[in-house]
Amino acid sequence: MEQKKKSPNKLKLLAGYYKPYKRLFFADLFFAVLGSAVTLVIPLLVRYIMNSVGAMPTSEAKGIILQIGIGMLVLILVQLGSRYFITYYGHMMGAYIEHDMRNEIFSHYQKLSFTFYDNQKVGHLLSRITSDLFDISELLHHGPEDILISFIKLLGAFIILLNVNWKLALISIGIVIVMLVYALIFNKKMKYAFKENRARIADINSQIEDSLAGIRVVKSFGNEKREMEKFAKGNERFVDAKRLTYRYMAGYHSGMDAFTTLITVASLVAGAFFLTDGTLSAADLVTFLLYINNFTEPVTKLVNFTEQFQNGYSGYDRFLEMMAIAPDIADAPDAVSLDHVDGDIRFEEVSFRYEENQEEVLSHVNLEVKPGEYVALVGSSGAGKTTLCSLIPRFYDVSDGRILLDGRDIRQIKLKDLRRQIGIVQQDVYLFAGTIMENIRYGKPGASDEEVIRAAKAANAHDFIMEMPADYDTDIGQRGVKLSGGQKQRLSIARAFLKNPPILIFDEATSALDNESEKVVQDSLEKLAKDRTTFVIAHRLSTIRNARRILVLTEEGIAEEGTHKELLAKDGVYARLCEAGL
């Protein structure tokens, strides 16, 4: 019931994608009809020449043959033009539609929340954007065109041949029907084998990706050989899957070829019989043979279409499914804009769990941070420090309670404005492939080179950047592999300097930095924190020693609070954390 209700809607939506290209679409169909009509007319002209011209006086006949010859030449040109048009513009129309859908899904991806991405594989999201959309666009432009062409050719040829000689027409259409059934059966088998192939190739691809992305780990464990063996196994299964595909493919193509020849031979033999009977003229027999292509070509086209339809439509289904996912973090209808904030942050009875029916990571957290205050968060690994901080920019929404910024619930503030006020230096810094300059400028698109350099200087990054081969224009490789941990962190700090937000969240890297870079990072952080409300998630004593306010986060929420000295004197959780080196 629901399905029935849905499908016209779906088709209507699909039709909507043609709308901007309506003229192109109808032109494409027009030329498809024109091209197939020409194909049908040419054999008729041949028949006319053979039938009537022979009876005329030679001089007259020559003139007419010349005229018809020229006429056929013109028709060939028309056919050429039509074919060119539908191949070029038809595909272009598909590309335009694919382009539009791709824009749509990509901008949809940008809106979806962290929760969505936590549960997705990037590879799958990628294939939605690439291969699924390609299948859809192929269907959208080939579908209507192929059906129309096949229909006209098949039906046209059949009607014409019925008029020429109905007995011969029935014989050939009978063979065509058997051929169609044969093609459908083999196509189904091939489809299954192709699906297997695709799965195998996807497996191999993801294995290659995983193995190459982790090449440093592979080498450090000396596991190259193991990786090679794993790969070889998958690669062999690929060959097995291919074997099956090619077997079916061989059956399909050889069968189709045989049927095509069979139609020719059957028409010729039966035609020759009728010829001796005197019920068929030689001209009609030639006409018949010229039409055989018009029978066999639509059969292959229609069979291809069933496959295209399945791929395209299931791709379209997946596309709609994706577009139907509503971003769970979005502006409330009555959200207000914020231009300037003081940076007063309050947590009121905040509880949070990542997913329903999972344990709470935070429960009933209460916290008040004054504008410009510097707060250090400590706690054992997995206590929820990163989680607590990711609630402030609304990467996730609280499950219970509320968070206030300058006295206003953050869910009542426009997301864009909220996030503009918050600078984040993440635990594992993400850098984009590109140059250092581009990566720092990400903090404030449109910033001048001078601004970027000033930010880098403030982040103590300028000196090491100047030592790079092409200083600010140095390419840092995928994810910044060409930089050290401390260097990446400083670039990330430079980004935050450039953004210049009133609120700052600094999630210290857990991986150890050497003493010297630890000091430089520490120094740049302190400069950055000046006059901002700052949350520092600290993993190092040096980061917190000077903090006037330290919060100790445990499973029970904020267990202790105070300065380094006060907390040590308490001899509680903090003291034990310090003993363990945090």
**Of 77-85, 138-146, 328-336, 383-391, which part binds Mg ion (CB under 5 A)?**
383-391
Of residues 327 and 485, the one with the C-beta less far from Mg ion: 485
* CA gap 43, 285 in Å, rounded: 11
Give me the half-sphere count of Cα atoms (radius 13 Å) on the Cβ side of residue 158: 17
Q: From the list ligand GTP, Mg ion, none, pick the one residue 355 interacts with, judged by a Cβ distance below 5 to 8 Å according to partner type.
A: ligand GTP
Query: How many residues contact Mg ion, by CB under 5 A?
Result: 1
Could you tell me which residues come within 8 angstroms of residue 157 by beta carbon, excluding any fewer than 6 positions away?
40, 291, 294, 295
355 binds ligand GTP (CB under 6 A): yes
* CA gap 293, 288 in Å, rounded: 10
- Concatenating the DSSP letter of every residue in 350-361 gives EEE-SSTTS--S
- Nearest approach in angstroms of CB 17 to ligand GTP is 35
Of residues 297 and 507, the one with the C-beta less far from ligand GTP: 507
383 binds ligand GTP (CB under 6 A): yes
Query: Would you call 255 exposed, middle or buried from its count of C-beta atoms within 10 A (0-12, 13-18, 19+)?
Result: middle
State which of residues 298, 384, 393, 557 lies at the interface with ligand GTP (CB under 6 A).
384
User: Around Cβ 97, how many Cβ atoms within 10 Å?
Assistant: 23
Q: Which of residues 410-439 bind ligand GTP (CB under 6 A)?
A: 427
Q: From the list Mg ion, ligand GTP, none, pick the one residue 382 interacts with, judged by a Cβ distance below 5 to 8 Å according to partner type.
A: ligand GTP
Residue 475: DSSP 8-state: B
SS3 562: strand
Site string for ligand GTP, 495-524 (x = CB under 6 A): ---------------x--------------
Of residues 51 and 387, the one with the C-beta less far from ligand GTP: 387
State which of residues 379, 443, 480, 502 lies at the interface with ligand GTP (CB under 6 A).
379
- Nearest approach in angstroms of CB 397 to ligand GTP is 14
387 binds ligand GTP (CB under 6 A): yes
Residue 347: DSSP 8-state: E
C-alpha R_g of the chain: 36
**Of 169-177, 384-392, 413-421, 555-563, which part binds ligand GTP (CB under 6 A)?**
384-392
386 binds ligand GTP (CB under 6 A): yes
Helix (H) / strand (E) containing 196: helix 166-213
Are the beta carbons of 437 and 469 closer than 8 angstroms?
A: no
SS3 342: coil
Closest CA to 553 of 572, 579, 581, 573: 573
**Of 243-251, 375-383, 456-464, 555-563, which part binds ligand GTP (CB under 6 A)?**
375-383
- Per-residue tokens: 417: 């404005």
- Nearest approach in angstroms of CB 354 to ligand GTP is 3
Of residues 192 and 430, the one with the C-beta less far from ligand GTP: 430
CA dihedral 19, 24, 30, 35 (to 10 degrees): -140
51 binds Mg ion (CB under 5 A): no
**Of 19-27, 305-313, 382-390, 445-453, which part binds ligand GTP (CB under 6 A)?**
382-390
Site string for Mg ion, 330-369 (x = CB under 5 A): ----------------------------------------
**Of 68-76, 299-307, 379-387, 454-462, which part binds ligand GTP (CB under 6 A)?**
379-387
Closest CA to 317 of 136, 120, 543, 576: 136
Query: How many residues contact ligand GTP, by CB under 6 A?
Result: 14
- Concatenating the DSSP letter of every residue in 409-438 gives EGGGB-HHHHHHTEEEE-SS----SSBHHH
350 binds ligand GTP (CB under 6 A): no
* CA gap 326, 112 in Å, rounded: 8
State which of residues 26, 67, 118, 478 lies at the interface with ligand GTP (CB under 6 A).
118
Q: From the list Mg ion, ligand GTP, none, pick the one residue 383 interacts with, judged by a Cβ distance below 5 to 8 Å according to partner type.
A: ligand GTP
382 binds ligand GTP (CB under 6 A): yes
* CA gap 523, 506 in Å, rounded: 13
354 binds ligand GTP (CB under 6 A): yes
* CA gap 378, 538 in Å, rounded: 6
- Nearest approach in angstroms of CB 385 to Mg ion is 5
Are the beta carbons of 504 and 535 closer than 8 angstroms?
A: yes
Could you tell me which residues come within 8 angstroms of residue 217 by beta carbon, excluding any fewer than 6 positions away?
none
Q: From the list ligand GTP, Mg ion, none, pick the one residue 566 interacts with, judged by a Cβ distance below 5 to 8 Å according to partner type.
A: none
State which of residues 197, 264, 386, 563 lies at the interface with Mg ion (CB under 5 A).
386
Are the beta carbons of 144 and 29 closer than 8 angstroms?
A: yes
State which of residues 107, 163, 357, 381 lies at the interface with ligand GTP (CB under 6 A).
381
- Per-residue tokens: 59: 């001089």
- Nearest approach in angstroms of CB 325 to ligand GTP is 17
Closest CA to 339 of 406, 251, 249: 406
Are the beta carbons of 440 and 505 closer than 8 angstroms?
A: no
Give me the half-sphere count of Cα atoms (radius 13 Å) on the Cβ side of residue 376: 24
Of residues 426 and 563, the one with the C-beta less far from ligand GTP: 426
- Per-residue tokens: 292: 């055989």
SS3 536: strand
**Of 43-51, 214-222, 378-386, 491-499, which part binds Mg ion (CB under 5 A)?**
378-386
State which of residues 128, 153, 301, 385 lies at the interface with ligand GTP (CB under 6 A).
385
Q: From the list Mg ion, ligand GTP, none, pick the one residue 118 interacts with, judged by a Cβ distance below 5 to 8 Å according to partner type.
A: ligand GTP
- Nearest approach in angstroms of CB 125 to ligand GTP is 17
Binding residues for Mg ion, per CB under 5 A? 386
Binding residues for ligand GTP, per CB under 6 A? 118, 354-355, 361, 379, 381-387, 427, 510
